Structure formats: C-alpha cells, structure tokens
C-alpha cells in the first residue's frame, strides 16, 4: 500500500474521493479538477490506472496488449468523441473479426458474405432476406423471449446453430434459451457485404495505447492517485463529509448482505508464438463447442502501422467461466434473480448520503467505453453544482499541494 502520512493527510483534505481509476472515475476526476478546480484523490486497488482498459507492452515482443481483454474504441456520440480526443488521437483501425466453424473461417458479424459462404451460393440481399425469413417462420410471428429465439428471428436456425449457439454456450455456460435476448442484439446482422463489426460513426485505436489516455487525463496537480489501496481499508480514515464517487461492485459496498450478483469472467492465456503473423487478423472467434476457448486475439493486428518483430507474435486465448470470489467480474449475467437483487442494492444505494455510484460495477451493467465516459460526463454535469457549492477547501489551498501528484505515484 502506498498510503501513509502525507497521502492520508491528502485524503482528509480532499474535495472529492473517487474509488477506482477506470474510465468512469478518471472522467469525473478530470472534470472535477479542470472544470471546478477541486482537489481529487483517487483510490485504486490495482497497481495501475485505467481499470479494465489498461494496456501494457508485452516484454517478449514489444507489442501492446490489453491486460483485461481486447478493447476497440467506437462511438457515435459526438460529445464523447470530442472529449476523448483531448487526450489521444486515434488510428483508422476498423474491427473486422472472423469466426471458425468446422475448420472454415467466416466473416463476422453475420453479413451477406457470411450467408453466401455458408450456403455456398451467390445470393442478392433480397434472396438472402427471403431465405432467412422462411427459416424464422418457426417462431410463428411471436416476439422472441430469449437469446435463442432472438437469434433465430435474426438469422434463422442453421446460422444460429453454426455461429451463435456453441459460442454463446461457451461464453455464458448457460443454455441460450435462458439468456436475455438483449445479449445478442449487440451483434449486428447485415444483408450487405459490409463486414464492419461496429456501425458507429467513429472508431479506432488510441495511437499511444489506452494507458496513455489515462495518464493524460489524470496528470493534474489537483489529482492524486493512490494505487494498490482498497478503499474499504481506508474508509474509516476519510471524513464522511467528503463527497465520494464509488465505481466498485455495488454488492461489495453493502458487504454482500443481500447476496452476490452473478458475473462472468475470462481467463486469458497469453503466449508468444514463433511466427511474425499467427492468424492474419486481430480477432478469430471459434464457434464450435469442441474448441474450449471462445477466441484468439493477436494484438499486433490492432496497430498494423507499428514496428513489430518478424519472427514472433503475442496471442491470447480466452476461456470464459463464471466468476467466483477473487475473480475479475467482466460480464454481468443479469438473470432475473440478479436483476431483483440489484434493485434491492440500488434502493439502498440511493439512500446513502454523500456517495454516488457510477460505472459498470456499481450499476451492474455492461457498458462500452464510450457509454461509460458518456454517463460520467452527464453525471458530472448533474452533480457539479452541489459538490462545488459544498466548497470544503478553498481552491488556493489545492494548488499548493504537489507532494502526491500523479506522476510521483505511478508505477
């Protein structure tokens, strides 16, 4: 733990404490420091900033790897795009993954190219629509109530069984008939040959990597980051009057008193292979259930413009499973029992004085990066007047504290 003496003092005199240095916490911190001149202390339990978007250089290859899974930035939200561009520029990377089914590689998301290849014939958009419409008749026109029905309504049973059923069972270890339809709505289906994964206006990879974004957001004399420290261990030393932004798991905040929310996690098996190009693309999904992993990510393909070794590459196999205690929670399961449990916690959270719950863990939602930043910007706009009016510490005092500036504590 880095905190002692001076930093504890900083905590006592902060205008705002933020639990977690992911995109939600970093956005609020940056706004509070730059827009309102507040003195902010961020407490982060991990040894690095960036939350799940943290990226690092693989030492054996020099290739940037995203430690908690591949992150592609995409948004159609102009406010978020302008905001994030203050801290980075983006490459022109466009995500076009593939999926392997019975030894053959198909383009994802399911598009006209995938459909033609699967049925081994050239189909026009109208012909493909008619073919799929004939197959979706099995639903008898009723509204899909689960992931399987939703998928069949979108692509018909043969494509569902080839590309979705096995992958989804591996990803969620749950029968797709018991999963919410909303999960599959994230995956577009197109009757054109457009094989872009995302349909957003803006897309790309940060030119200097993800961690550099956080470094720039938090490098401010009013922002003090404490790494390797769990807020629950420090809570009793922080005056209750200091406004707190909590981005950790909501059930943990209440000591799991109502029960634990269900999450999925992923095991990442990182390995260096003796070839300059292992799979020719960044992301290769594996649709069949007899392959244990869901996908292989080859990170060098996210940045084709960078120098890289010609004789080796770093790849990561992903094995999803349910998250136990001590695992990183990645995907909220959102079963009906989870949803009613979350509602109980949310009711209690709304009554907690002087604390705001934000980000994916505290709101128990799957949020993309742009949604996380967008919600933090909106929440900040709503809360800033109250927080600034509270005015515990005069701004002049804030500017003289330099001992714990972010650069002195970063790893």
Q: Reply yes or no on whether 264 is catalytic.
A: yes
16: contact with ligand FAD by CB under 6 A = no
Q: Reply yes or no on whether 368 is catalytic.
A: yes
21: contact with ligand FAD by CB under 6 A = yes
209: contact with ligand FAD by CB under 6 A = no
Residues pairing with 223 in the sheet: 40
* Helix-helix angle 147-159:125-136, to 10 degrees: 120
20: contact with ligand FAD by CB under 6 A = yes
Q: Which is nearer to ligand FAD, 38 or 49 (CB)?
A: 49
Choose the one of ligand UDP, ligand FAD, none that binds residue 99, judging by a C-beta under 5 to 8 angstroms depending on kind: ligand UDP
Among 37, 56, 71, 174, interactor with ligand FAD by CB under 6 A: 71
For residue 286, report the phi and psi dihedrals to the nearest 5 degrees.
Answer: -125, 110
Neighbour count for residue 239 (Cβ, 10 Å) = 12
Residues in contact with ligand UDP by CB under 6 A are 99, 108, 163-164, 167-168, 171, 183-184, 186-187, 285, 287, 331
Q: State the virtual CA torsion across 272, 278, 281, 282 in degrees, nearest 10.
A: -10
Choose the one of ligand UDP, ligand FAD, none that binds residue 313, judging by a C-beta under 5 to 8 angstroms depending on kind: none
Stretch that binds ligand FAD, among 43-51, 160-168, 171-179, 208-216 (CB under 6 A): 43-51
Which 8-state DSSP code applies to residue 114?
H
367: contact with ligand FAD by CB under 6 A = yes
- Please state, in angstroms and rounded to a whole number, the distance separating the CA atoms of residues 155 and 389: 54
For residue 208, report the phi and psi dihedrals to the nearest 5 degrees.
Answer: -100, 15
Choose the one of ligand FAD, ligand UDP, none that binds residue 29, judging by a C-beta under 5 to 8 angstroms depending on kind: none
Beta strands across the sheet bearing 98-101 = 104-107, 98-101, 283-286, 295-298, 313-322, 263-273, 331-332
Among 44, 149, 298, 379, interactor with ligand FAD by CB under 6 A: 44
Among 109, 206, 209, 359, interactor with ligand FAD by CB under 6 A: 359
Q: Reply yes or no on whether 366 is catalytic.
A: yes
Q: Which is nearer to ligand UDP, 163 or 302 (CB)?
A: 163
- Please state, in angstroms and rounded to a whole number, the distance separating the CA atoms of residues 146 and 133: 19
End-to-end CA distance of the chain: 12
Q: Output b/e per residue, 83-95; b: 16+ Cβ within 10 A.
A: bbeebbebbebeb
Q: Which is nearer to ligand UDP, 182 or 386 (CB)?
A: 182
Q: What residues make contact with ligand FAD under the rule CB under 6 A?
A: 19-25, 43-46, 51-53, 68-73, 230-232, 247-248, 266, 330, 359-361, 367-370, 372
Query: Which residues are identified as catalytic?
Result: 186, 190, 264, 295, 318, 366, 368
């Amino acid at each position: 733990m880095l905190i002692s003496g001076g930093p504890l003092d900083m905590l006592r005199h902060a205008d705002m404490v933020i639990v977690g240095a992911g995109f939600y916490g970093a956005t609020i911190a940056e706004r509070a420091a730059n827009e309102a001149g507040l003195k902010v202390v961020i407490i982060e339990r991990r040894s690095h900033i960036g939350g799940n978007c943290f990226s690092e250089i693989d030492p054996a290859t020099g290739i940037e790897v995203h430690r908690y899974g591949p992150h592609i930035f995409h948004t159609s939200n102009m406010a978020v795009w302008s905001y994030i561009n203050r801290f980075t520029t983006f490459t022109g990377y466009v995500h076009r993954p593939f999926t392997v089914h019975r030894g053959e590689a198909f383009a994802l998301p399911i598009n006209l190219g995938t459909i033609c290849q699967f049925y081994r014939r050239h189909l026009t958009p109208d012909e493909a629509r008619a073919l799929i419409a004939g197959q979706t008749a099995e639903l008898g026109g009723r509204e899909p109530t689960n992931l399987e029905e939703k998928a069949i309504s979108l692509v018909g049973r043969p494509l569902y069984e080839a590309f979705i059923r096995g992958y989804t069972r591996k990803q969620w270890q749950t029968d797709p008939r018991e999963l919410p339809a909303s999960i599959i709505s994230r995956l577009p289906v197109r009757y054109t040959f457009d094989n872009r994964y995302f349909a957003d206006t803006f897309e790309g990879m940060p030119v200097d990597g993800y961690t550099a974004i956080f470094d720039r957001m938090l490098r401010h004399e009013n922002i003090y980051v404490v790494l390797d420290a769990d807020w629950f261990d420090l809570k009793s030393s922080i005056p209750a009057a200091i406004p707190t932004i909590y981005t950790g798991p909501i059930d943990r905040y209440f000591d799991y008193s109502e029960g634990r929310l269900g999450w999925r996690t992923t095991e990442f098996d990182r390995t260096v292979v003796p070839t300059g190009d292992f799979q020719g693309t960044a992301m290769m999904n594996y649709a069949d259930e007899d392959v244990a992993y869901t996908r292989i990510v080859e990170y060098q393909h996210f940045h084709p413009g960078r120098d890289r070794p010609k004789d080796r590459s770093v790849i990561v196999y992903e094995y999803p499973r349910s998250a136990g205690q001590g695992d990183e929670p990645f995907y909220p399961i959102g079963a009906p029992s989870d949803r009613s449990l979350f509602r109980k916690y949310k009711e209690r959270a709304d009554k907690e004085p002087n604390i705001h719950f934000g980000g994916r863990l505290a709101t128990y939602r799957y949020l993309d990066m742009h949604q996380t930043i967008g919600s933090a910007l909106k929440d900040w706009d709503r809360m800033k007047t109250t927080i600034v009016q509270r005015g515990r510490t005069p701004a002049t005092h804030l500017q003289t504290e330099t001992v714990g500036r972010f650069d002195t504590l970063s790893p």
